Amino acid sequence: PKKLRICEAVSSSDMGTNVKVQGWVRSVRHQKQNLFLHVNDGSSLQSLQVVASSQLNHRLLTFGSAVEVSGLLVKSPSRRQEVELQANQIHVVGECNPVDFPFKVKERHDLEYIRQFPHLRCRTNTFSSLLRIRSEATTAIQLYFRDKGYVQVHTPVITSNDCEGAGELFQVEQEEDGGQPFFSVPAYLVVSGQLHLEVIAGAFPGVFSFGPTFRAENSQSRRHLAEFFMVEAEISFTQSLEDLMKVMEEMFRSTTEHLLAQCPEDVALFHKHVTPGHNVRTQSISTKYQHQNTMITYTEAIDILNRSSQKFAFETDWGCDLQTEHEKYLVKHCGNIPLFVTDYPYTLKPFYARDNLDKPLHTVAAVDLLVPGVGELCGGTLREERLDLLKTRLALAGLDETYRWYLDLRRFGSVPHGGFGMGFERYLQCVLGVDNIRDVIPFPRYSHSCLL
Ligand code: 4AD
Ligand code: MG
């Protein structure tokens, strides 16, 4: 028999042929004459209905067991599916004791429940959908950048710098060898690949990276992880924040449209069961960054917050960092669609952010993209390319020795440039309407939790 994946088997193009499928049993139903199984193999949300004679020894055919089934693909008499498999042989490859298995047949377990079983949750429909969506979104992002002519760069995981200067670093422990640590300098897990991308952007029009980044943030929040995936882009020869906003918006839209086209059933499952009523079409694709309501300065944002009747837990004076509660309020206030906030105070952004010398308040050319339900999704800046200003900034931060090579980038063929980073898990949270970031990554790491 011809071996098929279940997504192929259910497509009915092999009707009338003898086939073999492999997968995991999602339901078992007994009738007088027949036994009905639904088998899923993760190739899509759909399961294949398998019909077998109830004479069959079915004691081991339980929910969650792994099976290999051979038989004839036929048109199904039921209206619920096009095809079904008339089994002539069923082999239980791996048994599954339904009493001990944490997931129960016909029960819709919520994300919080299945999160307790990180080693088994990919056996549920919801998490299986999530994993397909993650995979497709990864492809979509790479396609977007490839089509625009960007070069993908593999930035390192181990680094000797703290790009964001926030001190939230995981230090790499090094064996002393003759009194010398392995690398001869302290080394850390990377918090952002930006500085490495800036190096490469010194010879390309546009570059991007997509990889894991690490932050020792002691946070239990619904939108922070200690290890998360970041998409970062760096664009040469640009002096405008609008260029960055355009890329953020286009990347968001094309990725989301790709998902809706390639895995509509998986996305619909989230919108139906996880966040009923969540609709990414109206909420997130219709962004127009040119639209006046979707672009405000930090100073305007502070004004809006100060005029609001809502009481905030954190201060809203000019110069304060925007907290999640502020971001959520601002997004709501501006129509509950994605919102760009620009020109943050000089003191709030890292040393590399470009000084807005021409503006009255001391700000930098930075832009964050805030989205409904999540808050900050992207953060970007124009980079300070003026050597003297950068030197002063590094000296103030006590970093001038460490970043000699960074200054070199401004000495040799320097061009105005800028870029941004998008938290991949936050993107998925936004598009799927998932409340907790731990439910959109296969193996979440956060303070006090590093399972598996
Ligand atoms: O705003 P951030 O810190 O910006 C940077 O790291 C820049 N160097 C990026 C660049 O310009 N190339 O991080 C970028 C994005 C945030 O907007 C947020 O979506 C996400 O990364 N992020 C996190 N996601 C999950 N857990 C965390 N702890 C995160 N910290 C940041
Ligand atoms: Mg940020």
**CA-224 nearest atom, ligand 1:** 26
Q: Where, residue-wise, is CATH 2.40.50.140 in the chain?
A: 2-106
Q: For a ligand 1 pocket test, name from 192, 196, 352 the mutation site with the most ligand atoms within 8 angstroms of its C-beta.
A: 192
Q: Can you name the CATH fold of 2-106?
A: OB fold (Dihydrolipoamide Acetyltransferase, E2P) (2.40.50)
Q: Where, residue-wise, is CATH 3.30.930.10 in the chain?
A: 121-439
* Residue 107 DSSP SS3: coil
Place of tokens 């089934």: 69
pTM of the model: 0.95
Rounded to whole angstroms, the Cα distance separating 111 from 109 reads: 7
Residues with CB under 6 A from ligand 1: 163-164, 192, 194, 215, 217, 224-225, 228, 230, 232, 376-380, 419-423, 425-426
Q: Whose Cα sits closest to atom 26 in ligand 1?
A: 224
**CA-225 nearest atom, ligand 1:** 26
Backbone region of residue 433 per phi and psi (left: phi > 0; alpha: psi in -120 to 50; beta: other values): left
Burial class (CB in 10 A: 0-12, 13-18, 19+), 169: buried
Rounded to whole angstroms, the Cα distance separating 382 from 321 reads: 19
Rounded to whole angstroms, the Cα distance separating 50 from 36 reads: 6
DSSP for 123-149?
Answer: GSHHHHHHHHHHHHHHHHHHHHHHHTT
Q: Whose Cα sits closest to atom 6 in ligand 1?
A: 192
**CA-426 nearest atom, ligand 1:** 19
* Residue 273 DSSP SS3: helix
**CA-197 nearest atom, ligand 1:** 12
Q: Can you name the CATH fold of 121-439?
A: BirA Bifunctional Protein; domain 2 (3.30.930)
Count of Cβ atoms closer than 10 Å to residue 310 Cβ = 10
Rounded to whole angstroms, the Cα distance separating 103 from 124 reads: 8
Going from the Cα of 270 to the center of ligand 2, the distance in angstroms, rounded, reads 27
Q: What is the pLDDT along the chain (452 residues), one digit of tens a residue?
A: 999 999 999 998 899 999 999 999 999 998 888 999 999 999 999 999 999 988 777 789 999 999 999 999 999 998 889 999 999 999 999 999 999 999 998 788 999 999 999 999 999 999 999 999 999 999 999 999 999 999 999 999 999 999 888 889 999 999 887 778 899 999 999 999 999 999 999 999 999 999 999 999 988 899 999 999 999 999 999 999 999 999 999 999 999 999 999 999 999 999 998 888 887 765 554 545 444 458 999 999 999 999 999 999 999 999 999 999 999 999 999 888 889 999 999 999 999 999 999 888 999 999 999 998 899 999 999 999 999 999 999 998 888 788 999 999 999 999 999 999 999 999 999 999 999 999 999 999 999 999 99
Provide the strand spans (E) within 127-225.
151-152, 158-159, 176-177, 180-181, 188-189, 206-214
Q: Whose Cα sits closest to atom 20 in ligand 1?
A: 423
DSSP H helices, 4-157, are: 6-9, 111-114, 125-147
